[in-house]
Every structure is written in C-alpha cells, then in structure tokens.
Amino acid sequence: MVTLTEAEASENNLPKGGGALVYRQRLATRLTHWLWAISLFFMLLSGLQIFMARPDLYIGQQSGFGFDNTVLSIGARQVDGEMQGVTTLFGTSFDTTGWLGLVPQGDGLARKAFPGWLTVPGYRDLATGRVVHFFFAWLLVATLFVWLIASAFNGHLREVWPSGRELKHLPRDVADHLRLRFVHDGRYNVLQKLSYAGVLFVALPLMILTGLTMSPGVVAKFPILLDVFGGRQTARTLHFVVMIALLLFFVIHILMVVLAGPLNELRSIVTGWYRTTPEKRP
C-alpha cells in the first residue's frame, strides 16, 4: 500500500487535511466496481420486467395449478367489489395496492406486478427486458472474471479475504460498528471482508449459476444444474432471493459509506486515494 505525506500529496495536487493519504483502490478494482454497479442496476430493473411475465415463485422442477409449491405470488383480485393488489408470501396475503399487483399508471391503476419506474423498459416489453438483462448479465460475468485475474496479480484478492486471526476479532468489530466507531487506516475491517467475500465468491456465482439453470439450452448440455438447485423453479426462486440479498447489501453499503465519510470513501473508489485518520500522540 502506497502512503503519501502531506508534502507529497500537495505536489500531486491531492487534498490536504487529516492523516496520510494511502493508495487504497487500484485501477482494476475501481473500474470493476463501477461496472458491477451499472450491471446490477440494469439487471435488477430488467429482471423485474421479466418477472412480471409470471410474477410467482415456486420450489421444485415444475409449476402450475396441479402443484402446491408456490412461495410468492403478486397479483390483483376483487375484494368487496373493488380491485385490490395482493401479494401472497408463504400462504399469507397482504394488501399491496399502489405498490405491487395494482400500481399507478397514468391517471389510474393498472394490473401489473411492479410500477413502471421500477422496470426497464418502463412499459410491458418482455423481449426488450430479456435483451437488456442478458447483455448486462454477460457484462457482469466478464467483469467478475477480469476482477479475479487482476486481483490475483495485484494482491487485492488477499485484501478482501479474512484471515483466521481477523475472524477472532469479529465480535469486537461488530460492537464497534454498532457504536459507529470506524477506523480509517486504509485497510478493510473483518466485516467488510466478510461482506465483500460473500458477494464476490457466493452471491454473484450463485446468481450466475441459477440464471444459467433457467436456460433450457444450458441445462440440456449440463443437466446436473437441475440436480444441484433442485429444479428450474427452485433456481428461479433462488435467483430472486439472491437479488434481494444483493439489494440489501447495496443499502447497507451506501449507509456505511455515508456514516464513514462519503467524500473520503468516494475519493477512494474514484481516484484510489484514501485519507486515513491521524495517529493519536500521547
């Protein structure tokens, strides 16, 4: 990790104040970070467009009226003479009018799983949604591959993988975060490492594999995928669950950036340079 003094930072036209500047994020890390953000954004909105074609989730290989394996269903129905948006989760129904099932469109309400602002494109177009989704899905795969290769060579891979010694300090790190006590030393803490490793080595590969399992052409060549994930419908449900998990990670990630100092964090992921906390002198 490269460290600059205040004088060196001034010579390089970097901002002054605080502790030393460290070169925290390499170019490959910064580029792949933003490519992931863009890809996941469009995959989410186009994925919801695809999901609207059949806004139900099942467990198992098959689905239909003859099977009792629905875990989630979004739709609309008549309730006391009025149309109502209804979302059913594990057999329990909720009124989601205006949010899911029956959503604002123009001057009234339309029977759609999601409002237009939450899908790409904003109107019903399954074909375009699939094109957008698959384009950014393959961009995500390529970006993950490039990140793995680059990180293996520049040492970043070791920086996001927690060691056994660090895991022993996990309770203390959790307590520090709950008290909003953040250490700005230019290194990832154990919670960051666990979350990043979970996304990069578990969530994204699982997202890719479950997506491939939904493809008839892919499973025709690799039928083992159906056995691994318990059927195409289970893979579709897992795909949706991973999407929710990534969305939750994004919300927490943004919250931590704001709490830890958004300008410093943004400078790190844009320019690579991170301002550390000055060391306390006795």
The last residue of one of the domains, among 83, 98, 118, is 118
Distance CA 27, CA 112 (A): 42
Number of neighbouring beta carbons within 10 Å of residue 175 = 10
In a domain, 196, yes or no: yes
Pair (111, 211) in one structural domain: no
199 in the same domain as 159: yes
Percent of the chain with pLDDT over 70: 89
Which among 245, 162, 241, 233 is positioned nearest to 197, based on CA atoms? Answer: 162
What is the distance between the alpha carbons of residues 22 and 278, in angstroms, rounded to a whole number? 12
CA distance linking residue 24 with residue 270, whole number of Å: 11
Do 60 and 45 belong together in one domain? no
Domain holding 112, by residue range, is 56-118
Residue 244 lies inside a defined structural domain of this protein: yes
pLDDT band per the 50, 70, 90 thresholds, residue 79: confident
Find the CATH number of the domain harbouring 167.
1.20.950.20
Cα 276 to chain centroid distance, Å, stands at: 27
Backbone angle region of 272, left / alpha / beta, with phi > 0 → left and psi within -120 to 50 → alpha? left
Helices 232-260 and 262-271: crossing angle in degrees, nearest 10, is 120
The total number of structural domains in the chain stands at 2
Mean pLDDT over 23-28 rounds to 93
> Beta strand pairing status for 103-105 and 56-58?
unpaired
Give the H/E segment covering residue 75. strand 70-79
- If you ran DSSP here, which 8-state letter would residue 165 be given? H
For residue 229, pLDDT over 50 is answered with yes
Angle at 34 between CA 243 and CA 257, to 5 degrees: 80
Percentages of the chain per state (helix, strand, coil), in multiples of 5: 55, 15, 30
For residue 183, the model assigns a pLDDT of 84
- Residue type at position 71: V
Q: How many whole angstroms separate alpha carbon 237 and alpha carbon 242?
A: 9
User: b or e along 137-171 (b: 16 or more beta carbons within 10 Å of the residue's beta carbon)?
Assistant: bebbbebbeebeebbeeeebbebbbbeeebeeeee
Average pLDDT of the segment spanning 3-14: 50
Q: Is residue 247 part of a domain?
A: yes
The pLDDT of residue 17: 54
pLDDT in the model for residue 181: 87
Tell me how far apart the alpha carbons of residues 262 and 268 are, in angstroms, rounded to a whole number.
10
- Band of pLDDT at residue 4, cut at 50, 70 and 90: low
pLDDT at 16: 55
User: Same domain, yes or no, for 95 and 33?
Assistant: no
Same domain, 76 and 141: no
Asked if 147 and 231 sit in the same domain, the reply is yes
- 114 and 17 share one domain: no
Q: Is residue 190 part of a domain?
A: yes
Q: Does residue 143 share a domain with residue 193?
A: yes
Give yes or no: residues 28 and 89 share one domain: no
Render pLDDT for 179-192 as a digit per residue (tens, 0 to 9): 888 888 888 999 99
Residue 141 pLDDT exceeds 80: yes
pTM assigned to the model? 0.87
Question: How confident is the model over 104-118, as a mean pLDDT?
Answer: 93
Kindly state whether residues 172 and 247 are assigned to the same domain.
Answer: yes
| 222 domain residue, yes or no | yes
- Confidence check: pLDDT of 65 > 70: no
What pLDDT is stored for residue 44 in this prediction? 97
Cα 86 to Cα 75: distance, rounded to the nearest angstrom: 5
Give per-residue pLDDT as tens, 86-95.
999 999 999 9
Rounded to whole angstroms, how far apart are CA atoms 105 and 110?
A: 6
Pair (194, 143) in one structural domain: yes
Q: Let me know if residue 280 belongs to a domain.
A: no
Per residue in 162-220, pLDDT (tens digit) is 998 889 989 999 998 888 888 888 889 999 999 999 999 999 999 999 999 999 999 99
Report pLDDT for 209. Answer: 97
For 245-282, write each residue's pLDDT tens digit.
Answer: 999 999 999 999 999 899 999 999 999 999 997 654 43
Which of residues 88, 118, 148 is at a domain's end? 118
Count Cβ neighbours within 10 Å for each residue of 269-282 and write b for 16 or more, e otherwise: beebbbbbeeeeee
Take residue 198 and report the two structure tokens written for it: 């979970």
Mean pLDDT of the chain: 89
For residues 51-60, give the mean pLDDT: 92
Q: What is the pLDDT of residue 242?
A: 97
Q: Clarify whether residues 42 and 176 are in a common domain.
A: yes
pLDDT score for 278: 63
